[in-house]
Structure 1
Amino acid sequence: MLETFLFPRETHGSLISSLSGGEKRRLYLLKLLMTKPNVLLMDEPTNDLDIDTLTVLEDYLNSFGGAVITVSHDRYFLDKVADKLLILNDEGKPGVFFGDMSEYLLVSSQKDSEAAKQESKKASAPVLAQDAGKEKTKWTYMEQKEWTTIEDDISELEEKSLTLQSAMAENASDFEKLTQLQQELDNTEAALAEKWERWEYLSQFAKD
């Protein structure tokens, strides 16, 4: 493996003290990998690595037969080695995305754009003068009907979300299928979030 990590045969007898900083880091990395781990936990692995070492690391991880769990702010590194992302949103809530970082950023940008359009529509919606200043104290007829089924609706959406996540794991190597499933999962999660918002709103009247 020394040659794989850019140590030509004529350098194999060299003293470690004679190696450069980049070569020492490469040798240390090689020493760890020669223990043949089946799981790698890596925290910002691209920090302080030169280009040669980074290239070797990326090539090794792409052929690694075990699991790799890494934390990194290096988008280009993640694009090359990651096929499943655990994302924390602005509220600190975790979410799973099947794909690389560039794909996630593209999907996220599209969702933000759609959300901005929806907010714009809500902001421009007229407010009826007769509703201004009134404090609602009970359900409308339609809201009462909605309350009777909303928990079942939530359960169905949660089950659908789990089914889609399982399907994505089974089709991890099929990018086209993954994209389709990811879009369906995003729509399901959005519908689920909306149902929970409605549940919280309606529940305040159910307690009266």
Structure 2
Amino acid sequence: MPGVDEMKPGAVGPALPGIEAAVVDEHGRELPPGEPGCLAITRPWPSMLVPHDDDRYWLLAEYWEEFSDRRADTWQYFTGDRAVVDEDGYVTVIGRADDVVTLGNRRLGTAEIEAAITAVDGVTEAAAVAGGTDETELYVFATAEQDSRSEAELREAIEDAILDRIGQFARPAAVVFTPELPETHTGKTMYRVLKGIVDDEPLEESTPLRNPAIVGELATVWNRSD
């Protein structure tokens, strides 16, 4: 906070007075300074506890249950960001926790892939996830405009766009067209739903979706594409 703490280039600063934050691993264990992980709020402010649209179950599933233990009554708020903290407690956000895929020996932000796809004429939305052997294959889910080109033509255009803007290493193993992407009530794409479909893993019942019916449609489209 300006006037309270000295600022460091690239850092969002330490937590505000009365709030505590930590960088944790995928199990919610705090990581040492300098090691990147998931940013969690371990001591929240009161307004964080106000349910969205009076739906506290959605709020719990979306932000609180990821790193919390109800039985031990210990709670951590998952921000959805990846970050690193230094020895002085300054936090630097390095990206979203669910927006990086590893293809071969390269880590790539899904935003870069999706930007290449949505630049294709006729494509309105896109989401990319990794799957397959050792999580090294790229799978693309896309929505297309009505009366656009055929799926075969769009699929070829998407593959060409990825090869041109990113490289051969990112050639998708499959491009699947869907009426819409699975989203939360706030419009966030639920990548873990797409990942579960690719990996043939059941969807958790607590997963909060604005459009839950799309999961079945996605599974049908995916099975048809095999």
* TM-score, normalised relative to structure 2: 0.22
**Max radius of gyration: which structure?**
1
Higher helix share: 1
Higher strand share: 2
* TM-score, normalised relative to structure 1: 0.24
